[in-house]
Amino acid sequence: MAKPILLSVDDDSDVLRAIERDLRSHYGADYRVLASDSPESALELLKQLKLRNDSVALLLADQRMPKMDGVGFLQEAKEIFPDAKRALLTAYADTNAAISAINQVSIHYFFLKPWDPPEEHLYPQLDDLLDDWRASYRPGFEGIRVLGTRWSPRSYELRDFLARNHVPYQWIDVKLSAHDPETKRLLDALGEDAASLPVVLFPDGTRLLDAVPAQVAQKVGLRTRAQTNFYDLTIVGGGPAGLAAAVYGASEGLHTVILEREAPGGQAGMSSRIENYLGFPNGLSGGDLARRAVVQAQRFGVEILSPQEAVGVRVEGPYRIVKLADGNEISCHALMIASGVQWRRLEAPGVDRLQGAGIYYGGGATEALSCTGETVYVVGGANSAGQAAMNFAKHAERVVILVRGESLASTMSQYLIDQIKETPNIQLWTHASVAEVHGSTRLEEVSVLCSDTNKIERVPANSMFIFIGALPTTDWLTNVVERDDRGFILTGPDLLWEGNRPKGWTLERDPFLLESNVPGIFAVGDVRHGSVKRVASGVGEGSVAVQFIHQYLSKV
């Protein structure tokens, strides 16, 4: 934890060195001692310290300085760090001025020059001031801070990215906190840069304006570039299936890399609670599962590149070469597609326009606290929708689940159905679908079509979360890997038609159970045709596929 700061200001270099020496000698173990030779540069320094979220315990300024005297400096410094103790250094002739300043600008003490010996004329008084300051001192947040507005899609994208990558951060809604004095001081310190939201502030004092996830990823040290251009096994997708394959592959000696477009964990990583995963009787969050799996994979030497996207693949002899979104390429002997699925888009007027501004796809874990006291609409009836509804019910005044069918029985696990029934602030609207959404810059109302009455009810709404099924994003595999009509990858027996092997298949054996029509390219998890769409099955497929990969590599 960073030490609080003692700042001295004096244009006389000899006096400045002397006060800095005495402060550092007595307080250096518990405080950082900084010095400035002008009030103007000291004020700029204080603004930088504010942006770094540092704490300033003491401001000690000489009274007689050109352009701005000590009292004027302390007046302006008080606007930046109002809780810091303020003290003035004066010559004997300035005693009356110092006493007047105490009454006018609430300085806490004045010291006479010279102050020798400091054991009598400096330290006892400062000890009292600093003891008083520490009594109410609360250390500031030392991680990343994100400034933006709740209804900004860019701000939501950043918060979601940081949360899913397990990067601690503090969220500051500049509109919601507009009357908060500390937020105002922070915006004042930013100056003109405060208009370039979202702004990301880092502990080292640097900032990103109009920030996007890729910039933040680079700054916080997330790896987006591969350490080498060849691997035994390249895995596209860092969900449960991909992470399981990485753990088993790397633990058995395969040089392995994962390419993850957003954040490790996939859709499962966005689940607020998974209660039917073997070995966790009390359940666990998707984020916890992802975090544990990432640590486990990295312990075995797996490289995880995130955010990094695969945009193409080609085959050259025994090599499978993946083209990345940044233009680089990775070569490997075995390629595993574990890219999962993306939420289906809700086709209703206004949805695309308000996405990220009250309308969200997926779990919305970062939005749960923001929904306190509000009504939240959840669209969809599968387990992911039920898990999200249970999570929102802890914060929202009311949660409304909209489903097209007459019940949840055919789409949701019974344990979730029972929990929803027992949660008083969750309502289930059956035969209901979204006809249209309304709002200029954010979601304000939802028009709900009731299919059994053919009537539309228009209801006020702040937040709506969509879980209406998912489809794979496998267009980048076109003309290489065979897929079904919805884009899911065909593997193993699904490639055999009346006993015939896939077109272009050159090996004497049939494709392995989880192998595509291209030898050495495998598919596991939700992206595979016929998968079960459960976390446990994805983990199982990822681990089983590694055995087939070993068999394939033994013949390469």
| Percent of the chain with pLDDT strictly greater than 90 | 73
For the segment 521-550, the average pLDDT, to the nearest whole number, is 94
pLDDT at residue number 484: 95
For the segment 399-403, the average pLDDT, to the nearest whole number, is 97
Superfamily of structural domain 359-470: FAD/NAD(P)-binding domain (3.50.50.60)
pLDDT at residue number 284: 85
Q: Is the pLDDT of residue 366 over 80?
A: no
Bond prior to 181 in cis (omega within 30° of 0): no
For the segment 6-26, the average pLDDT, to the nearest whole number, is 94
Q: Is the pLDDT of residue 252 over 90?
A: yes
Q: State the Cα–Cα distance between residues 313 and 330, nearest whole angstrom.
A: 10
For the segment 322-347, the average pLDDT, to the nearest whole number, is 95
Q: State the Cα–Cα distance between residues 153 and 150, nearest whole angstrom.
A: 8
The alpha carbon of 306 is separated from its chain's Cα centroid by a whole number of angstroms, namely: 12
Of 269-283, 325-339, 387-401, 461-475, where does mean pLDDT reach its minimum? Answer: 269-283
Domain 5-135 CATH assignment equals 3.40.50.2300: yes
For the segment 1-22, the average pLDDT, to the nearest whole number, is 93
Return the ∠ at Cα 490 (arms to 486 and 495), rounded to 5°: 130
For the segment 21-43, the average pLDDT, to the nearest whole number, is 95
Bond prior to 213 in cis (omega within 30° of 0): no
Q: Is the pLDDT of residue 302 over 70?
A: yes
For the segment 318-342, the average pLDDT, to the nearest whole number, is 95
pLDDT averaged over every residue in the chain? 92
Whether the predicted model's global pTM rises above the 0.85 cut: no
For the segment 48-63, the average pLDDT, to the nearest whole number, is 94
Superfamily of structural domain 230-341+475-553: FAD/NAD(P)-binding domain (3.50.50.60)
Return the ∠ at Cα 314 (arms to 311 and 317), rounded to 5°: 155
pLDDT at residue number 98: 67
pLDDT at residue number 235: 98
Q: State the Cα–Cα distance between residues 447 and 459, nearest whole angstrom.
A: 6
Q: Is the pLDDT of residue 88 over 80?
A: yes
Helix, strand or coil for residue 18? helix
Domain residue spans in the chain? 5-135, 144-220, 230-341+475-553, 359-470
The candidate with the shortest Cα–Cα distance to 102, out of 113, 87, 91, is: 87
Which CATH number fits the domain 144-220, given the four candidates 3.40.190.10, 3.40.30.10, 3.40.50.300, 3.90.78.10? Answer: 3.40.30.10
359-470 has the same fold as 144-220: no
Which is more confidently placed, 366 or 468? 468
Dihedral angle of Cα 208, 213, 217, 222, to the nearest 10 degrees = 170
Q: List the beta bridge partners of residue 355.
A: 359
The candidate with the shortest Cα–Cα distance to 271, out of 477, 79, 534, is: 534
pLDDT at residue number 520: 96
pLDDT at residue number 533: 84
pLDDT at residue number 273: 79
199: amino acid identity, one letter: V
| pLDDT bracket for residue 499 (50, 70, 90) | confident
Token pair of 304 as six digits: 């995880």
Q: Is the pLDDT of residue 1 over 90?
A: no
pLDDT at residue number 270: 77
Q: Is the pLDDT of residue 196 over 90?
A: yes
**In sequence order, what are the residues at sequence separation of 6 or more whose Cβ sits closer than 8 angstroms to the Cβ of residue 488?**
472, 474, 527, 528, 529, 530, 531
Residue 297, H or E segment? helix 286-299
Burial 518-537 (b: 16+ CB within 10 A, else e): bbbbbbbbbbbbebebbbeb
pLDDT at residue number 93: 65
296 CB neighbour count, 10 Å cutoff: 16
